[in-house]
Structure 1
Amino acid sequence: MDERKWRKSSYSGGENNNCVEVAEEAELRLIRDSKDPDGGFFEVPAAGFAALLGCLKASPRRAA
């Protein structure tokens, strides 16, 4: 059983559960698909993840 504390984006919502989840582990951030929590995850350095979030927050929102 996965003992990590996964959290969803604050932008998640609606009924279809389409989002990613993130867990913190030492100097890493683990990212997985919320629709397939047993399908694995990938790791990124915490600093890189913080930089990604900073870029996303600074960028204008785009329609999908």
Structure 2
Amino acid sequence: MKETSLDEFVADKGQSEAARLLNVTPPAIHKAITAKRHIRVLELADGSFQASELRPFPSQTVRLQTAC
């Protein structure tokens, strides 16, 4: 099994093919790359691909409210 970053996967396969292999749309691939999301693609033993994302917990930014 081989693991690569989404950027490397797309550089190797092309955006449309990468999207097809991951069962997402090409715009979703573009958006993920543009947003610099930390997505890793794993090639499974059967030749299929699986993607996962490492995100901080909690994933939402906490905003402090200030009194006006």
TM surpasses 0.5: no
More helix by share: 2
- Which structure is larger by alpha-carbon Rg, 1 or 2? 2
Could you say which structure has the greater relative contact order, defined with CA pairs below 8 angstroms and 6 or more residues apart?
2
**Structure holding more strand per residue:** 1
Query: How does the TM-score come out when normalised to structure 2?
Result: 0.29
Normalising by structure 1, we get a TM-score of 0.30
